[in-house]
Structures are given as structure tokens and as C-alpha cells.
Amino acid sequence: MKVTTIEKKLSQGSPNIIDMINSGAVVGIVNTITGGRVALQDGFHIRRTAAERRVPCFTSLDTARAALKALTHGKGIYNVKPLNEYLS
């Protein structure tokens, strides 16, 4: 899988990650916490834009790793059911 590291600080101008999400150039995001108020605000905008554009956004490396493992070892066969069917 090709991965590109992008500086997420939105205040550093364009193009930035928001521009890339909106253009359709991004198929998934790993947005981890770095601390600080500005970083938290930027992270909120990144997650919101990703959700609006239906781009998967992971906020934990463990979760991103598990998703990649499932996608690469699942052989493309997935069973999806409503949550209530799993609970009954």
C-alpha cells in the first residue's frame, strides 16, 4: 500500500490534507494525537472532512494496523450484518 506522509498543520497554507481529502486524492487517513490546542483543532477538521467525504480515518495506529491486516488477509470476502444480528 502506498503511503504519503503529509504535514497536517492547516495554518501552513494550501495544499493541505483538507484540500487532498476534498479532491479525492486520499483513500484513508491515520490521524494520531500530537498534543497542543492547534493540533487538536486541526485534527477535528481533518476527522470532520474525512467523515463528510466518507474517507476512513483512524486515530490510533493499533486500529489502522488491525484494519490493514483484515483487508490484506481477508481475501476480499466480508460478511456484513446489522449490529443487532450479531448481538442476538
- CA–CA separation, 5 and 34 (whole Å): 15
- The domain spanning residue 62 has which CATH number? 3.40.50.1380
Note the pTM of the prediction, 2 decimals. Answer: 0.70
Q: Which domain holds residue 62?
A: 10-87
Assigned domain for 31 exists: yes
- CA–CA separation, 55 and 51 (whole Å): 6
Assigned domain for 1 exists: no
Confidence of residue 11 (pLDDT cuts 50, 70, 90): confident
Assigned domain for 2 exists: no
Assigned domain for 3 exists: no
Q: What is the pLDDT of residue 53?
A: 96
State yes or no: pLDDT of 75 exceeds 70. Answer: no
Q: Which of 31, 29, 62 is nearest to 44 (CA)?
A: 31
State yes or no: pLDDT of 12 exceeds 90. Answer: no
- CA–CA separation, 26 and 63 (whole Å): 18
Mean pLDDT, the chain, as a whole number? 83
How many domains, the chain? 1
